[in-house]
Structure 1
Amino acid sequence: MPQVVRKDVDNLNAELTVTIEKKDYESKFVEELKKYRQQASMKGFRKGKTPMSVLKKMYGNSVLSNIVYDILNNELDTFLKEEKIAILGQPIPSEDTPEVSIDVKSMDDMVFKFDLGLAPDLEIKGFNKNKKFTRYVPTVSDEKVQGDIDNALKQLGDRETITEDIQETDSLKVSVKELDGKKVKEEGISSQFTVLVDKLTKKAKKQMLTKKAGDAFKVNIFDLEDGLEESQVKKYFLNIEDENAEVGKDFELTVDEVTRVTPMEFNEDFFNKYFGENVVADEKEATEKFKEPVLNHYKNHSEALLFRDFQDHLMGKNEMELPEVFLRRWLLMSNEELTEEQLDGEFDAFKENLKWDIIKGKIVKENDIQITSEEIVANAQGKIMGYFGGTPLPPDMMKDMTDRMLNDQNSLRQIQEEVISNKLYDVLETKFSYNEKEVTTDKMDDIIEKAREKAQK
């Protein structure tokens, strides 16, 4: 039977020596060759009658290698589980491991040495009911809710093509052609796109409101829609992906089509079309329905900000050392495309993420946080409904989309992490106290943006 011996180098590093004797693999090797013999169909021999010496010569080393490494991996996995060794990354061959020759001509005992990076033994510190965090309580203004209602009324309103003067609420399909002086440039840039009049810059809007469908006039393409960066104008208006491409500012713009929407009335007919038959009864319920997703959106951001504060606090209270030399070797060995230079630039961020994973894992284990398949499905279906604006989907369609999402391993892992994080948040929330602070959604947007900028530094 193979032997595994552990030697601790220090608190964060250990070595495992795995000895596989000839008797551990020889019989398995013979059995595997016999299986090959039963299936082999080689010229000059009847099926199943190929001499073992021939098979050994042709397939022996490959078969032996597979058997030895299967035994080796099984012994490592079993030892780590039975000894309950918490490791970081995966075992990697020691730099002084003996050279092993896997050759059927010289089958003998084999010795393998591996380095382990050990997870630090951590006792979580920092939980304190006297520690107070700020919990933002978002408030949604009537104006913001009304804005969403107005957009929905337009979305389901009647559309008509207009030939008279353009109004501020109109949507325009326009064509643009690059100018060279006063003339259209030969082989210059041309494009067609849609803009909303109320999104234009003050200067462009004033000019547009004097026009109608079919009119053509000169514009500064980079001063057409308010709030767009030069790169966005190139990409979305001119279909140019290269941010550094040289583009003149002067274009001839032609108004190809003017579309005007007559919004629906905020009444039962609209409620049934937007929410479904008999889902809401009156204006008050409908207004609350519009308010609810906005409030939930900002509540989720508020919880995310609070979770980040928990994380920063616990990271500060639980300093730890890591087996950095081992981790660097493991990262380089497990990713052949990673260079030393790249690793130097990314290693600090990797360490911080790993430290939080260790803290998180310890809290999850101590609080017996587990997730169920029902919770995973519920999370996936919540995401899917979000894609459709919260509108309920037919059961068959929901099942099909849920199955596809959960069959994607990346999506499944992300959902599992979210469910665990949500449960972890619930646990952490009980460990501290809070000062609640009401903020408007506009103020929340500013707070969220500052948090993003901080995270990117």
Structure 2
Amino acid sequence: MQVIETLAEGLKREIKVVIPAKDMEQRMNERLAEVKDKVRINGFRPGKVPTSHVKKMYGKSIMAELVNEIIRDKPSAILSERGEKSATQPEIVMTEDEKEAEKILSAQADLEFTLSYEIIPAIELKSVDGIKVTREVVEVSEDEINEQIEKIAESARTFEAKKGKAADGDRVTMDYLGKVDGVPFDGGKDEDAELVIGSNRFIPGFEEQLVGLKAGDEKVITVTFPAEYPAANLAGKEATFDITVKEVASPAKTEINDELATKLGVESVEKLKEIVRGQIESQYGNVTRQKVKRQILDQLDALYKFESPSKLVDAEFENIWRQINTDLAQSGKTFADEDTTEEAAREEYRALAERRVRLGLVLSEIGEKAGIEVTEEEMQRSLFAQLQQFPGQEKQILDFFRNTPGASASLRAPIFEEKVIDKLLAEVSVTDKTVSKDELLADDAEEGDKPAKKAAPKKKAAAKAEDAAEGEEAAPKKKAAPKKKAAEGDAE
């Protein structure tokens, strides 16, 4: 077998592989000898079939098996011998000429094929002694805990029917039918919908028009959907809602005490405070973690500069670009609305894709050299978290991960990355800094892991796009959930 390097430019490699016809014929004869005693052919006793006859009947099919095995196994063996790692699955090219293929299967022509691939560059790991990060820490105050408990209490608040007119804070139970240009639209109808005036769960201008209504009243409410509303058929449109009020109820007084805690499934108000404190600390901890991680990545980005495999960058860019265009389409905006051009956005997101790939390779090398592994238990926990996000679709998700090659990598990669970050955090210089909640949550656009601000669709548009992806089509359906759903949302 001949292995000839025909291209070595940057990270690109091309290898020509030639296996002489006589070698292929020898392999075929060895395989024929193995099956000779197993074949059953009428007119011949078992094990007495002439080799020439077996070759005539099965030679080409056996040769085809050999070719497939070589194409399957040789590329990885060749890369291993060369001490190279391919960034993606090598592209294999062999003859498509039927006559030439027939000669190969008949052992009358050499088997030739070409491997084309990009190598993962050799990365010389550098000392992280110079990396310094500031870990922002927020001290959770009693006032903040009580404030959060009060919000939770709102979700458990009871209402008592009243005869008077609806006022701010009252709950209105109603039937409604939404129309655009006099025509009802999907998702614009509901019965016995409950809405607390002032909760801002409906589109702007809707709730205010309920003030002053009482049980039995009917009214036509006119509102305009926001321009960035995720349902394109409703965005920016004026709509009317035929309202029939069924009940007006005023909120009962709530007190933060053991009775409230019991209602929420906790044994005491002190235990409730403990749980809320833990939740707040966890939320702040996640933000702190992301900020620290960003600082590490930014400094690694400055430390490591090398060419990244173009196919990996292309794939990463396509993923980013697809999401950006989806967000823009869902929000009804254009690049011009975001104060940029498509060309400028492409350039910046391309740079982001290149950074992500390069840092991914660096983290992978660090983790590999440190012997970091992702356990099966960690993979299972990650999969379970995926299943929890999509109730009712568990079977489809399981089938996807079981039957899709490489799908498990999407579970493994983030776990591996976080374990590498943990390792680095134990080695770099970390200084804790106590900050306020506002300082921690300040929107500091990440320069390295995010393109320039004007090139990225606004957060609101992205959020609306996510809402649309969940199938929310009309504002009342989205923002006027029944009482139970509203309570769950507030509790979160």
Under a length normalisation based on structure 1, what TM-score does the superposition of the two structures give?
A: 0.68
The alpha-carbon deviation at position 148 of structure 1 amounts to 3.2
Displacement of 1:404 in angstroms is 8.7
1:362 aligns to what?
365
Name the structure 1 match of 2:278: 292
- 411-420 or 67-76, which moves further after superposition? 411-420
How big is each residue's C-alpha offset from its partner over 1:183-229, in whole Å with a ceiling of 9 and x where there is no partner? xx4x455533654312349976554332223323343413xxxxx83
Work out the CA distance in 2 between the residues paired with 1:168 and 1:424.
Answer: 52
Q: Partner of 1:301 in structure 2?
A: 287
| Mapped partners of 2:360, 2:90: distance in 1 | 19
CA displacement 1:144-195 (0-9 Å, x = unmatched): 4334323433444545555543243334345144487xxxx4x455533654
Question: Residue 30 of structure 1: CA displacement?
Answer: 4.5
Give yes or no for contact 1:61–1:102 (8 Å, CA) kept in 2.
no
- 1:320 Cα deviation from its structure 2 partner: 0.6
2:136·2:433 contact (CA, 8 Å) conserved in 1? yes
How many angstroms apart in 2 are the aligned matches of 1:249 and 1:85? 63
RMSD of the alignment, in Å? 4.8
Alignment partner of 1:374 is 2:377: yes
CA offset digits 1:91-132 (Å, max 9, x no partner): 2247xx777732245643212221232222222336234x43
Counterpart of 1:421 in structure 2 is 417
Distance 1:33 1:195, change over 3 A: farther
Once the 2 structures are TM-superposed, how far is the Cα of residue 363 of structure 1 from its aligned partner?
0.9
Number of the residue aligned with 2:478: none
Q: Structure 1 321/206 Cα, relative in aligned 2: closer, same or farther at 3 Å?
A: closer
Report SS of the residue matched to 2:359: helix
Moved more, 27-36 or 131-140: 27-36
What's 2:221 paired with?
219
How much does 1:84 deviate?
Answer: 3.4
Question: 1:287: how far off?
Answer: 0.7
**Structure 1 residue 72: deviation in Å?**
2.2
For residues 159 and 10 of structure 2, the distance between their equivalents in structure 1, rounded to whole angstroms, comes to: 72
Q: Does 1:319 align with 2:285?
A: no
What pairs with 1:250-261 in structure 2 (closer than 5 Å)? 251-258=241-248
Q: After superposition, where does 1:231-246 map in structure 2 within 5 Å? A: 231-232=228-229, 241-243=231-233
On the 8 A contact 1:176/1:254 being kept in 2, the answer is no
| Alpha carbons of structure 1 residues 320 and 82: separation in structure 2 relative to 1, 3 Å | same
In structure 2, the residue corresponding to 1:320 is in which secondary structure?
Answer: coil
Q: Structure 1 pair 434/329, CA: closer, same or farther in 2 (3 Å)?
A: closer
Please say if residues 260 and 269 of structure 2, whose CA atoms lie closer than 8 Å, have aligned partners that are also in contact: no
Contact 2:158 2:251 in 1 (8 A): yes
Aligned to 1:79: 78
The aligned counterpart of 1:191 is: 189
**Residues 259 and 379 from structure 1, CA distance in 2 versus in 1: closer, same or farther, beyond 3 angstroms?**
farther
CA contact (8 A) 2:28 2:59 kept: no
Equivalent residue number for residue 118 of structure 1: 119
Taking the aligned partners of 1:416 and 1:361, their CA distance within structure 2 comes to 12
Gaps of 5+ in 1: 42-50, 223-227, 236-240, 332-340, 389-398
CA distance in 1, matches of 2:247, 2:34: 75
Task: Work out the CA distance in 1 between the residues paired with 2:175 and 2:401.
Answer: 42
Provide the rounded CA distance (Å) in 2 between the counterparts of 1:61 and 1:347.
48
The 2-side partners of 1:293 and 1:387 are apart by: 23
- Quickly say closer, same or farther: Cα 1:174–1:139, change in 2 above 3 A: farther
Q: Which amino acid aligns with 1:354?
A: V
In the alignment, the residues of structure 2 paired with residue 142 and residue 427 of structure 1 have an alpha-carbon distance, to the nearest angstrom, of 34
- Give CA deviations for 1:319-368 in whole Å, capped at 9, x if unaligned: 112454x779999xxxxxxxxx9xx8775544333212211111112222
Q: Is residue 26 of structure 1 aligned with residue 28 of structure 2?
A: yes
How far off its partner does 1:444 sit?
Answer: 3.5
Amino acid at match of 2:226: E
- Distance of 2:180 and 2:307 partners within structure 1: 63
Name 2:145's counterpart in structure 1: 145
Q: Percent identity?
A: 19
CA distance in 2, matches of 1:118, 1:379: 30
> Which one-letter code corresponds to 1:229 in the other structure?
P
Match of 1:248 among 235, 238, 249: 238
Distance 2:132 2:400 in 1: 39
Among residues 434, 440, 454, which one is paired with 1:438 in the alignment? 434
Q: Provide Cα deviations, 1:253-290, integer angstroms capped at 9, x if missing partner.
A: 433444656477544454455355xxx5x433321211
DSSP 3-state at the match of 2:138: strand
* One-letter amino acid of the counterpart of residue 110, structure 2: D
Q: Tell me if the contact between 1:171 and 1:196 (Cα under 8 Å) persists in the aligned partners.
A: yes
Q: Retained in 2: the 8 A contact 1:33–1:56?
A: no
> If the length of structure 2 is used for normalisation, what is the TM-score?
0.64
1:202 and 1:348 mapped to 2: Cα distance?
A: 39
The answer on 1:109 being equivalent to 2:106 is no
Unaligned 5+ residue runs, structure 2?
Answer: 43-49, 317-342, 457-492
8 Å Cα contact 2:177/2:184 also seen in 1: no
CA contact (8 A) 1:213 1:255 kept: yes
Give distance in 2, aligned partners of 1:117 and 1:63.
32
Q: Equivalents in 1 of 2:398, 2:210: separation in Å? A: 49
Change (3 A) 1:287 1:165: same
Counterpart CA distance in 2 for 1:63 and 1:257 is 80
For residue 352 of structure 1, the aligned residue among 351, 355, 361 is 355
Q: How does 1:37-56 map to 2 (within 5 A)?
A: none
Residue 376 of structure 2 aligns with an amino acid whose one-letter code is S
